[in-house]
Structure 1
Amino acid sequence: MSFPMASGARRPGLCAAWTLAALVASGPAWAATDVPIWLSLDSHNTDAFESLVKAYNRSQSDVQVKVRSFDTPEALSQALDAAAKDKSLPALAQIGDSHTLEDISQRSYVQPFYTLQKSAPLKKVDWFVSSDNAFIHDAKGRLMAFPAMLEIPVMYYNQDAFKKAGIVPAIPQRTWMSLQGQLVSMANKGSRKCPLTSNLPVSINLENLAAVNNQLYASADNGLKAKGLPSFSFDVTYVRHLSLMISWVRSEIMVRPDAGMHSISRFANGECAVMMSSSGHIGQFNEQRKLHYAVSGLPYYPEVTKVPGNPFISGSGLWVMKSSKPVTDATAAFLGWLAQPDHAAQWYQETGYLPLTKAAFDKTPASYYTDLGQWRNLVAVYAGRSAVTGQGFRIHNYPEIRTKFQQIINSALDGKQPAVTALNTATAEGNRMVRQR
């Protein structure tokens, strides 16, 4: 399109300069709004998230999402604190619930997700996890963060290791004592270096020992009651279990749990027969062509419960930072896109995190679960109401308490103290730290 020059105009360069100036002046009306997101995921799940981000950025020109990855959650948290001081916060940040939801929500720079959820792209989303589950939900059942990285602990098992040991069918037993017999067989027939491992010593041996056996982990309904501070009381079930774990380490049918990534790499490489860890590694394991594995529920004690309960949800969510209205609107648009059935189903299938929405779960074909053992059934229960013992827990200072519990468990597994002494210490220390301010 051309414009006629004014009468007597003889300077086309001046006209071009005026046109450029007009375009620059109108820039903010058409420039894309940046949505910075800070994450701390393993490499596989980071790639899966960035793949979705690239697809979103290509799909429109109004919003550009930019991802920054951190090596650890601690590094991300430190960066957030610094960014809050110099007012350079991202639009979204991945933060773990750590069962201290109020401590996060009280930070001056975050806003509850349910306030953003009122925006048009998110109004009609049917979330997958039931609102009575305390993880990332407040006491009224409202989502405090976008539930993108929720996971549950599961029992991974190498089917080739079971077959090599002559175990038919090639699946793990769901009771601890029956599993012991299978581990002995595998240790004697090909899996001597690593019959069993885990990277979740506190989750498996304390927190979910309670939930899976339909017991409360702490008093005051796991700290979810409004009145009264919760307290711990690790009774005979815990003593029996930790004593069993000490004997497994001593007899070398279990590699002492560690909280790092070493055990995950060992299972991915086919070195370990069984691993108890978070479901968020499913996507990574699916990419290992030589790894023939499946998923089962955590073991339980039939003397304590006839039917195993559901483990606690763990993981993290995308927390919304307080931003300008254009950034907040752009953030809502991106999250609304992520929650669409196709994109949410892709995220679920490529990671092993729980589905964002019921539509994502329904859209996942049966073929996806063909080689994953009990995975579909383990997931499906979280769409319904939870038993009181499995709704989650809320405990003040819990990150510090969990670190202390891990130190105590490691000491017991190293043979430095008997189970009863370790658990008495854990009870006393946990109850003291709950009351610290």
Structure 2
Amino acid sequence: MPSDSKWSEEKIIDAQRMVENARDIGDLLPPSLAHAADAFRGSAPALDAAGPLNLPDLDQQRDVVRSADVIRVTGKERVMEVFEDAAQHYSVSGYAERMEDSLGLIYLGLDGSDKRYGEQAWKSNAAISAVAAEEAFRLAFDKTRNAIDQQGIAPGDAEKLSVRVLAALCTHWFGLPDGVHMMEGGFGLDTAHPPKCPGDFAFLSHSITELSPDAKRAWSGMVKGHLLRLSVRQFVTGHHRDGTTPDGTLTRALFKAFPGQADLLARTIVGVMMGMLPTVQLNLLAVLEIWKRTNRYDALAAAFAAHPSEDLYKKACAVLEEPLMQAMQMRPTPGSVWRTAAADHLLNGEKVSKGDRIHVSIESATQEDLRKGVTDVTPIFGGSRGREPHPTHACPGYRMGMGILLGIIAGAMTSPAPVTSAAPVAPGTA
């Protein structure tokens, strides 16, 4: 896969033809994805309708296990040790390599010790962190009610509702999708132009953050990354040419953060959207599926309706927040991420060599907490930025994301029609 940043639409169409005609898609992948597996393992919540929802047994005595050059890390304590990385043993350099073959490098692929990280991350993270949970909740609630009441989206169609609401939220915050450079759309392996929001971001994210993604989905995600970068750069340069600023509140902040840097700005917008959309959408679909299968949804909807508070946000926090977090802990997205060892060291007695890949099982950490009665979803977001020092790559949009989830669920629950959900058809589930 060429790493030329100036991929044209024609090159992307050619890439799609290659993927359709290839006998062995693995032959098309660049070195950064040389370990792509034949079967997708881990991140998206794959809920077999006939399968149990019981938590699997975890071997807590072996929370660091080597297999060839991969170190599998499980359990809350060890997972957080990798995320917090006090000794700077763990690098996201592997993400950087994959980004270079896709959307292009941004601060999500840089370690905290790299001066470029500080130059790029500070203003971006500040803008994202400024979106409070309550603000996100109220906006998501309104968009959900509008989708149901005014646009005819059935509240029972959780996937379609999530696509419509998340696309509307992104238009509010980013000015995209705008119907020209980016369209509203769900999951799909195709690489049609213009790209789709939120669906295309799921494949892009998995091609970077999953240690061993399915080869075909990895290729699709890489091509989608190029297409998103191309389309958003056209969006950016159009505003630069016309001397205008986008309507999206977050994009306006990013325009100010990266003046005169069209390509870096475009890459950053794509990266910030990638950081939010798959996590919110796939956790939402998984939670609704769990609640449907455990008959929890109707009980929570009744409790929400009966709660005396007239403030919807306070009512949602009181009734829905803890059950939401507990369901997320059961089947989190992402279920795992990875790092690269930056130095030889010991991790709980296991020798780790520089260059080893570290498979970090978020699912094991959240499920361990769930067993112990601890409600904590921060591992899903790479740790908490509320701690000092906080993990370098802890998500600045944690409060924003949780507000969106609560807002969509509360909006659906206030509808007279019941909500149902099928297991999400997303990267790794088909």
Using the size of structure 1 for normalisation, the TM-score is 0.25
By relative contact order (CA 8 Å, sep 6+), the higher-ranking structure is 2
Q: Which has the higher helix share?
A: 2
Q: Which has the higher strand share?
A: 1
